[in-house]
Chains A and B, each alone.
Chain A
Amino acid sequence: MLEDLKDAGLCAFFALLIFAPFLGVHLGDGTSGNLTLGPTPERLALAVAATFIARMAMLAWHRLRSKRTAKPSNGAAAARAAKYIGPVLLAVAIIFPLLPGMPNAYIDLGVLILTYVMLGWGLNIVVGLAGLLDLGYVAFYAVGAYSFALLASNFGLGFWECLPLAGILAAFWGVCLGFPVLRLRGDYLAIVTLAFGEIIRLVITNWVSLTGGPNGLLGMPAPSLFGLKFSMAGGPGTFAGFFGVDPMPWQKTAYLFYVILALALLTNWVTLRLRKQPLGRAWEALREDEIACRSLGINVRNTKLTAFAIGAMFGGFAGCFFAARQSFISPDSFTFIESATVLAIVVLGGAGSQLGVVLAACVMIGIPELLQSLQIYRMLIFGLALVTIMVVRPRGFISIRRPSVSLGKAKMIGAELRAEGKG
């Protein structure tokens, strides 16, 4: 107990040093344009005390846990249950927007989460399967969104015509990015992908005549249902008019929900199919050992490029959907923080696990949105959650791997055997 007190005391001392300059004083504006400094000892005391208590609680918790025999868990139970969790989640997703009295805002949140699930699944191909660290995934999201916006405004195309084009364009950019970085490994790859994402954003911001610059682009059409539009005005040619119901905002939101659900499921289906086939297996082999792949006659370059291209394509689809949903896009939506969020979803999910991505997207996107009322603390909590989850579960929620093929009953493979890729 005394040891705990000492330990927590030391932590509190460090907290004092850390918090003193920021919580102990507050910069303010003086009368003559100069800065003033006001003391705020109460919030400093609060933070230091909180650190002390938190540390005491943590030590007590460790003590309690060490008494029980620790059982190693790597989400094996979750993966076994995945057989049931997957369909159950899907069923919940399908009826979710139709539940009576479901607030429009919740359906909208569902749309947002599903967008990130789709992005996570797309990036999972690159990071989780092929083991290539991509810090600039948002670039493809942006390419998809701007492709749609520009095609719609310049050629009057609708969402469904633009969707495949946006995917193809994004895949094309994926290959363009892939070529120069083929030889790069690890963190060199990370910084170049990050740089690529930033370049795309800078070009979008500065090429005002094409992209509208920081003001963005407006007025993209929302997806229509077999030509029926969703309009609050009602009337012929609209969803409400055709079915003879009152136009309601939730009808459009629910439709968007099903569109993104279908797109996300398409991503999932393609990924799951590919995983059980030579291409997907080659991606995973690439993650495990690139040199061995080469010795077996696998064309490493093409295999990497397909991973980039297919991952980028799904990012492009998601971007196209995003633009249609918002009917407004600007460079602010495509900052590095988006790439980091999607990467965090993939890693928290367990890098490679499809179900893990869903769980992580719900946690990382759903919870901060529900904390909207805390406004300024929202991102602070988001950051703290990232650190905490990683420290508690470095391998993510579901880190085991199901073999793509087996002679007998498939045995799950633990995370400790899996390589993480050097690319």
Chain B
Amino acid sequence: MAYALQQLINGLTLGMIYGLIAIGYTMVYGIIGMINFAHGDVFMIGAFVGIIVLTALSTVTSVPVALAAAFVISAFICAVYGFSIERVAYRPLRGSFRLAPLISAIGMSIVLENYVQVSQGALERAIPNLLPGGIVLLKQGDFVVQLTWMQLAIIIVTLVLLAAFTYLVTKTPLGRAMRAVEQDAKMAALLGVNTNRTISLTFVIGSALAAFAGVMFLLYYGVIDFYIGFNAGIKAFTAAVLGGIGSLPGAVLGGLLIGLIEAFWSGYATVAYKDAAVYSILAIVLMFMPSGLLGRHEIEKV
């Protein structure tokens, strides 16, 4: 029981990170209908900017200031990355062959991974735990169920981001424009929505969220390398599809589910097959719900 509770906490924390990345996938898919394969690598860029900022500031300021700076700078830099990637690699391909942006995105993903590898080396980089300790929730014999300060921080930061993001999408003119472009880009343009700007902003917001996820990943695990984007990206994409691609609550739900599956599978079955378990569950869910858990079921009009 205590063990399950601990896995639940671990799974939720991990799931929050996946959910934040998944939002970027699902937003971009919703608005221009492409899989932004490079999104996972933007997350990795975010983690690296985080480690660089923390290293630069660690001796100069206090931990909270350094952390805040890491989040803000990382989000800003990743926003620039997201904006530029869309401009350079995706915008020229908008409205053309469906596979072209996909290949371009895969190319971009390879570029980002190797750019980081070439510029910062292939070694794993580690930082010490900046928020040690936590709350002991339950003691059962020797086993202690603990919610670490880091986990608590990740959960709180994610919830705040999700709240802000939900407000942005549902209540602001920008959110309205985004939803309009998602429904029908041509019509939205005819009605005076600046689609290019809206699409750019979608990338900017998605990338900033991925940056937050990247920094949190860095803080939570303490170790990163240039390759973390691939796995996290695929998991987050899986989360987006599981939840129903295009659906924002679906992305968060999918992320949480995948975090939980991973945590419980690692806890109760073999760690080696945890990714295989995630993918199998995805395949099984899609077999019975071809549009994911919260996706709109598309009936093709005949």
Which parts of A353-380 form the interface with B (CB within 8 Å)?
376-377, 379-380
Q: Shortest beta-carbon distance, A197 to chain B, in Å?
A: 9
Q: Shortest beta-carbon distance, B167 to chain A, in Å?
A: 27
Number of chain A residues close to chain B: CB under 8 A? 61
Given A21-B52, A188-B286, decide whether A343 and B103 contact each other with a Cβ distance below 8 A.
yes
Q: Shortest beta-carbon distance, A282 to chain B, in Å?
A: 19
A384 within 8 A of B: yes
Q: Shortest beta-carbon distance, A9 to chain B, in Å?
A: 15
Report Cα–Cα, A198/B275, bound state, in Å: 8
Q: A127: which B residues are within 8 A, CB to CB?
A: 99
Contact digits for B112-152, partner A, Cβ 8 Å, 1 yes 0 no: 11111111110001110000000000000000000000000
Q: Are B116 and A198 in contact (CB under 8 A)?
A: no
B72 within 8 A of A: no
Q: Which of B10-18, B86-94, B154-162 contacts A (4 or more CB under 8 A)?
A: B86-94
Who on chain A is nearest to B54 by CB? A35
Q: Shortest beta-carbon distance, B112 to chain A, in Å?
A: 8
Given A133-B99, A347-B100, A383-B108, decide whether A390 and B93 contact each other with a Cβ distance below 8 A.
yes
Report Cα–Cα, A186/B246, bound state, in Å: 13
Q: Are A383 and B114 in contact (CB under 8 A)?
A: yes
A242 within 8 A of B: no
Q: Shortest beta-carbon distance, B229 to chain A, in Å?
A: 12
Q: Are A347 and B290 in contact (CB under 8 A)?
A: no
Who on chain B is nearest to A136 by CB? B279
Q: Are B290 and A391 in contact (CB under 8 A)?
A: no
Which parts of A283-328 form the interface with B (CB within 8 Å)?
291
Who on chain B is nearest to A292 by CB? B302
Q: Shortest beta-carbon distance, A198 to chain B, in Å?
A: 6
Q: B100: which A residues are within 8 A, CB to CB?
A: 347, 390, 394-395
Which parts of B231-289 form the interface with A (CB within 8 Å)?
234, 237-238, 241, 245, 270, 272-273, 275-276, 279-280, 282-283, 286-287
Q: Are A351 and B99 in contact (CB under 8 A)?
A: yes
Contact digits for A386-423, partner B, Cβ 8 Å, 1 yes 0 no: 11001100111000000000000000000100001000
Q: Are B56 and A195 in contact (CB under 8 A)?
A: no
Q: Shortest beta-carbon distance, B210 to chain A, in Å?
A: 15
Interface footprint category on B: 35 or more
Please pick, from B99, B103, B238, the residue contacting A191 in the complex, using a CB distance under 8 A: B238
Q: Are B48 and A192 in contact (CB under 8 A)?
A: no
Given A27-B121, A180-B287, A187-B35, decide whether A21 and B49 contact each other with a Cβ distance below 8 A.
yes
Q: Are A202 and B81 in contact (CB under 8 A)?
A: no
Q: A348: which B residues are within 8 A, CB to CB?
A: 103
Q: Shortest beta-carbon distance, A193 to chain B, in Å?
A: 10
A183 within 8 A of B: yes
A269 within 8 A of B: no
Who on chain B is nearest to A384 by CB? B111
Q: Which of A133, A183, A380 has the most CB of B within 10 A?
A: A380
Q: A36: which B residues are within 8 A, CB to CB?
A: 55
Q: Are B89 and A21 in contact (CB under 8 A)?
A: no
B62 within 8 A of A: no
Q: Shortest beta-carbon distance, B118 to chain A, in Å?
A: 5
Q: Are A187 and B107 in contact (CB under 8 A)?
A: no
Number of contacts between A and B (CB, 8 Å)?
180
Q: B286: which A residues are within 8 A, CB to CB?
A: 180-181, 184, 188, 192
Q: A336: which B residues are within 8 A, CB to CB?
A: 230, 234
Q: Are B103 and A18 in contact (CB under 8 A)?
A: no
Q: B2: which A residues are within 8 A, CB to CB?
A: none
A206 within 8 A of B: yes
Q: Are A14 and B280 in contact (CB under 8 A)?
A: no
Who on chain A is nearest to B298 by CB? A185
Q: Are B103 and A196 in contact (CB under 8 A)?
A: no
B188 within 8 A of A: no
Given A37-B56, A188-B290, A384-B111, decide whether A376 and B104 contact each other with a Cβ distance below 8 A.
no
Who on chain B is nearest to A420 by CB? B98
Q: A14: which B residues are within 8 A, CB to CB?
A: 80, 84
Q: Shortest beta-carbon distance, B51 to chain A, in Å?
A: 7
Q: Are B55 and A387 in contact (CB under 8 A)?
A: no
Q: Are B279 and A195 in contact (CB under 8 A)?
A: yes
Q: Are A202 and B276 in contact (CB under 8 A)?
A: yes
Report Cα–Cα, A26/B120, bound state, in Å: 6
Q: Are A380 and B114 in contact (CB under 8 A)?
A: yes
Report Cα–Cα, A27/B121, bound state, in Å: 8
Task: Provide 20 A-B residue pairs closer than 8 Å at the C-beta atoms, listed in order of the A residue.
Answer: A26-B119, A27-B121, A37-B55, A43-B119, A127-B99, A133-B99, A180-B283, A183-B287, A196-B279, A203-B276, A206-B276, A347-B99, A379-B110, A380-B110, A380-B114, A380-B115, A386-B104, A387-B88, A390-B101, A391-B104
State the A residues within 8 Å of B (CB).
Answer: 14, 17-18, 21-23, 25-27, 35-37, 43, 127, 133, 180-181, 183-188, 190-192, 194-196, 198-199, 202-203, 205-206, 291, 336-337, 340, 343-344, 347-348, 351, 376-377, 379-380, 382-387, 390-391, 394-396, 415, 420
Given contacts A347-B103, A383-B113, A387-B111, 9 further A-B pairs with CB under 8 A are A18-B81, A35-B125, A190-B102, A195-B238, A195-B282, A205-B272, A206-B270, A384-B111, A391-B104
Which 9 pairs across A and B sit closest by C-beta, in order of nearness? A386-B107, A383-B110, A195-B279, A383-B111, A394-B100, A380-B114, A387-B107, A394-B96, A390-B104
